[in-house]
Amino acid sequence: MQEETIDVKNILGLQLPTDPRWVDLTAISLEEILTDHAYCEQKAATTCITLIQRYSEYEKLITELAPIVTEEWGHFRAVLAELHKRGLKLGRQRKDIYVNELLSFQKKVGHVDDRFLDELLTMALIEARSCERFKRLSEGLHDDYMKKFYRKFMESEAGHYTLFITMAEHYLPKPKVRKRWKEWLEFEKELMNRMEIRGDRIH
């Protein structure tokens, strides 16, 4: 992986770094944070499948997304295996405030291109923020095994973030994508500012 893909501020474009206290909070309950992580992976896989169903005429998109489904499901299985290895259980899925807030910012009416763009940018943003969070964990935890565990996810999600932006630019004019991406980044910054820091959530 290229070094610049992990430069959170410049490459991911995220406007607000994660509060450093969050990493320590996640160490309190591995069962809770791994449960939340597992469902993040499940939702990533499910959303890619939904995009394939919804935009089946976009051949390049479905060709690119099909293997991502496998990868995300592989991530789910890796997290599940980690839970089981430790004698922990996958808990119930909790309300995902972060994702729900992002969905509320999506354009639900208007031209299909605008809705398509927002769906791709929502995914890009979730991947970017997840990548940033995994980076924090891989650097800030005290457990060497878990640092390596999260580093693998960080590298994978960095590739996904760029894929969703690339797909948007493949189907839509670049200036349009860039303009809307900036609006998304601003919205996410404001969202991160007002969200409670919780150690039992990836976001």
- In angstroms, give the least distance from the CB of 127 to Fe ion: 5
Cβ count near 183 (within 10 Å): 12
Q: Are 76 and 93 in contact (CB under 8 A)?
A: no
Q: Are 91 and 31 in contact (CB under 8 A)?
A: yes
Q: In the range 64-83, which residues lie near Fe ion by CB under 5 A?
A: 72, 75
Q: What are the DSSP calls for 37-93, one per residue?
A: HHHHHHHHHHHHHHHHHHTTT-HHHHHHHHHHHHHHHHHHHHHHHHHHHTT----PP
Q: Of residues 96, 132, 157, 188, which one binds Fe ion by CB under 5 A?
A: 157
User: From residue 114 to residue 153, what is the string marking binding to Fe ion with x (rule CB under 5 A)?
Assistant: -------------x--------------------------
As measured in angstroms, the least distance from the Cβ of 37 to Fe ion is: 9
Q: Provide the token pair at 40.
A: 């993040």
**Residue whose CB is less far from Fe ion, 160 or 203:** 160
- Can residue 160 be called a binding residue for Fe ion (CB under 5 A)? yes
Binding test (CB under 5 A) with Fe ion, winner from 14, 23, 44, 202: 44
Residues that bind Fe ion (CB under 5 A): 41, 44, 72, 75, 127, 157, 160
